Amino acid sequence: MDDLIADFVAECREMLEALGGEIVAWEAQPDDRARLDSIFRFVHTVKGNCGFFEFPRLEALSHAAEDALADCRAGRRTPDGPLVSAVLAVIDRIGEMVAAIEAGEEFAGGDDTVLIQALEPGAEGPAAVTAATVSDGKAVSAPRTIRLSVELLDRVMSGVSDMVLARNELARRLRETESDVTVDGAFERLSGIIAEMRDAITRTRMQRIENLFVALPRMVRDLSGELGKQVLIDIDGGDVELDREMIEMIRDPLTHIIRNAVDHGIEKPADRLKAGKREIGLLSVSARQSGNQILIDIVDDGKGIDGKKLVEKAVAAGSIEAVDAAKMTARERLALIFEAGLSTAREVTSISGRGVGMDVVRSNVERIGGIVEVDSNPGHGTRMTLRVPLTLTIIPALTVSIGSQHFAIPRAAIEEIVRANGTSVTLDSIGGAGVATIRGRRMPEISLADVLGLASDVPDEERTLVVLRPAGGDLYALAVDRIHDHEELVVKPAAPAVMATGLYAGTTLADDGSPILLFDPAGVAEVGGVKLEMQERAARIVEAASTATVRDDNVLLFRGLDGNRRAIRLALVDRIEEVARSSIRHAAGQLRVQLGDVILPLAGADALGVEAGKEGGEDKVRVFRLSDGTREIGYVFREVIDLMTIDHEVIPAEHPGAVSGVSLIGGEPAELVDAHWLFAQHLGATARAAEQVVCRLPSDDAWIQNMLRPIVEAAGYLVIDEHDELIPDVVIASHPGAIDDDHADRTLVLRDEPEAGIDDPSIYRYDRAGLLSALKAASGGKGR
């Protein structure tokens, strides 16, 4: 009997969960027959089962709801707001009762008769609230499934892991002995089958993210009802699969972000109308897979996050200094919402705004190796992005060792790996603390052997530095004795006594079956005494200040395509990339190189007077990515010779050109590349002249971006969006509601109709001449 009840409870729960979205959809379209049917089926099933189990209250409730819905189905009654609310209330009560049955308690609370009466035609139900979900037009049909306990799955999984280990052992034995070809063949087949099985069993842990999403429409509906707002929720990507444990881990952060969006983001209908938006706020939640990450976007079109207010709050709360605050970028300001104790909500509501929140969200997401990103456009909305790894249990890692012991480092945190005695690396000790300078970047350096208190026989300079960027922190370098291998490791949580060290994220088994400890990069930094949080903000500012004042005489000596020795200042080189010759071509008047998804002007090839692409020999060429801080150009070369310093006199060139002079470097003359000339020459028209006028366009308006932007740019304006820090000389708004108070006197407003109202200063959006002259006037005649 108990088994039957347990099955009944499980079935009810499953149906309730699946129903959450349906009900809200039904409310939006009460005549939607498919949804009416599925709700009817639910109450009908509950009623049938209750009779069997003798749950009289449950039976009476479901019976009443069934009757009311049956009337609707037969067309005797039209479903309306009050009925929907009454049915919802009944379904909620059924859910509570089922929970009580599961817990083995008597359900005491509440009076059912009120609920049943509310189902009567013409009854005064609770006020209906409006919310709707964008329907995809078809009811969800459940795939054929059976219920399995997770323990059973885990047992199968560990069985398969054992099998893999046994196979590895067998493989070792086979290698040691002279074996038969037929045995080898059979073993290969066995290996293949085991690998396949491991894949399949790993997939059983995956679950559609839909399970997380089905509850959202209902939650948003209830929230918006409570707050007197109207919110339309659009859900996409429910079929993305995620590790079931991961789904549980992101449930709370996701709920919190959505609550915030509805509570703080989306305005009340009246305010929305005032701001020129639709009454109904739009909240869109979408999931998609990108590599081995899942991205969940939560986008609302509410009032956005006020970065300035956040900064004021943070300064008032003492978490940042006013001096630093002034230097923060828009993005850094927004990131302040993740600081503990900051909330821009003026009042604390029951929903959110208690000051605990986003910091907890971030730490929860980071704990599972994820990232939360925030992007907001004041007045237009906020986008939150959760990036989480596909699975908790299998992570790519790098194995390293100290002495004879192996450890693993999650690959996601690794920026790069360099040898401590490499030419681009210098190690200094400042007040006993290690500082590594890697190609001009300075970062704290700690030795893993010291952190762990292990003896190491490898001298400092022969170690390898692993540059790590822990979640939410800044770079640091970790010196290890040896680097071994990249492996996909099945990570298991470690015992509390091991976790208490703060150093480890879990344990795992190597292929030979011996345990390996997996590091938590942030924990290692903390134990090693590296201050991550403080660095996060300070580093950027210090960096900017120091690069401006410190004159870097480090040069990179290289051989150009023409074979000449040349040198370029290291600070200018952002990075070195290897590209196929085919990605270098003449386009739009000059030689350009494609690097990933950017196209840069290319220098260095002109010495030959021919296109680099026509040069025979290797298929690949190397390109410096040079940066002046804002713009980039490429410089093609043959090979890097060494990193040197200029210690001899520089003999200036006679004419300005690609080479500014020549000097003895490393005992031989080398030409110094004149970066200023290169930038001036190659950026040409794309470079922003000093007197160029800045025009700000809203980034979220497709018409403006696609139609207007090219015209404005062609007129010689530098176009920026809301997030740019440049102060615009003129701002174009697509409608009067979008005027930003800061720039109201410099804002041009567009209108859709050719005819203007009286005293309407706006400009018809297709009035090109009017637009250009207005632009010129608004920017104080600075435009061309």
Partner 1 sequence: MSQLLLIVSIGGSRVAFPSAAVESVVELDTLIPVPRAAPHVAGLSALRSRVLTVIDTVRSLDLGETDCSDGIREAAVVELDGHHYALIVDSVEDVVEAMSDPSPIRAAMGEGWERVALGMVETEEGPLLLVDVAALIAGPAPEARAA
How near is the Cβ of 268 to partner 1 at its closest, in Å?
47
For partner 1, the binding residue among 198, 492, 743, 782 (CB under 8 A) is 492
How near is the Cβ of 195 to partner 1 at its closest, in Å?
15
Q: Does 514 bind partner 1 (CB under 8 A)?
A: yes
Site string for partner 1, 396-435 (x = CB under 8 A): ---------x------------------------------
Q: Does 162 bind partner 1 (CB under 8 A)?
A: yes
Q: Does 454 bind partner 1 (CB under 8 A)?
A: yes
Residues in the interface with partner 1 (CB under 8 A) total 30
Name which of 99, 110, 69 is nearest 8 in CA terms.
99
Question: Do the beta carbons of residue 103 and residue 50 sit within 8 Å?
Answer: no
Exposed, middle or buried: residue 524 (CB in 10 Å: 0-12, 13-18, 19+)? buried
How near is the Cβ of 512 to partner 1 at its closest, in Å?
9
Q: How far apart are CA 71 and CA 465, in angstroms?
A: 74
Q: Which is nearer to partner 1, 198 or 631 (CB)?
A: 198
Q: Which is nearer to partner 1, 219 or 509 (CB)?
A: 509
SS3 label, residue 597: coil
Tell me which stretch binds partner 1 (CB under 8 A): 161-169, 269-277, 413-421, 558-566. 161-169
Exposed, middle or buried: residue 18 (CB in 10 Å: 0-12, 13-18, 19+)? middle
For partner 1, the binding residue among 133, 399, 507, 734 (CB under 8 A) is 507
- What tokens were used for 90? 């009944």
Q: Does 496 bind partner 1 (CB under 8 A)?
A: yes
For partner 1, the binding residue among 115, 516, 561, 579 (CB under 8 A) is 516
Q: Does 534 bind partner 1 (CB under 8 A)?
A: no
SS3 label, residue 401: strand
How near is the Cβ of 395 to partner 1 at its closest, in Å?
15
In one-letter notation, the amino acid at residue 121 is P
∠ CA 389-395-400, nearest 5°, is 135
Tokens 């399995």 belong to which residue?
A: 148
* Backbone conformation region of residue 175, classed left if phi is above 0, alpha if psi is from -120 to 50, else beta: alpha
Question: Do the beta carbons of residue 297 and residue 312 sit within 8 Å?
Answer: no
Question: Do the beta carbons of residue 289 and residue 243 sit within 8 Å?
Answer: no
How near is the Cβ of 333 to partner 1 at its closest, in Å?
38
Tell me which stretch binds partner 1 (CB under 8 A): 265-273, 450-458, 620-628, 704-712. 450-458
For partner 1, the binding residue among 108, 146, 495, 548 (CB under 8 A) is 495
Q: Which is nearer to partner 1, 405 or 546 (CB)?
A: 405
Q: Which is nearer to partner 1, 335 or 409 (CB)?
A: 409
Q: Does 161 bind partner 1 (CB under 8 A)?
A: yes
Q: Does 529 bind partner 1 (CB under 8 A)?
A: no
How near is the Cβ of 402 to partner 1 at its closest, in Å?
8
Beta strand segments in 142-257, E: 206-208, 231-236, 241-243
Q: Which is nearer to partner 1, 228 or 513 (CB)?
A: 513
Q: How far apart are CA 83 and CA 68, in angstroms?
A: 8
Q: Which is nearer to partner 1, 215 or 527 (CB)?
A: 527
Q: Does 513 bind partner 1 (CB under 8 A)?
A: yes
Q: Does 323 bind partner 1 (CB under 8 A)?
A: no
Q: Does 630 bind partner 1 (CB under 8 A)?
A: no
Q: Does 386 bind partner 1 (CB under 8 A)?
A: no
Q: Which is nearer to partner 1, 491 or 593 (CB)?
A: 491
Q: How far apart are CA 250 and CA 738, in angstroms?
A: 34
Q: How far apart are CA 152 and CA 483, in angstroms?
A: 37
For partner 1, the binding residue among 6, 136, 148, 158 (CB under 8 A) is 158
Question: Do the beta carbons of residue 715 and residue 681 sit within 8 Å?
Answer: no
- What tokens were used for 317? 């709360």
Q: How far apart are CA 494 and CA 169, in angstroms?
A: 25
CB environment 428-457: b (16+ within 10 A), e (fewer): eeeeeebebbbbbebbbbbbbbebbebebe
Q: Binding residues for partner 1, per CB under 8 A?
A: 158, 161-162, 164-165, 405, 451-454, 492-498, 500-501, 503-504, 507-509, 513-517, 527
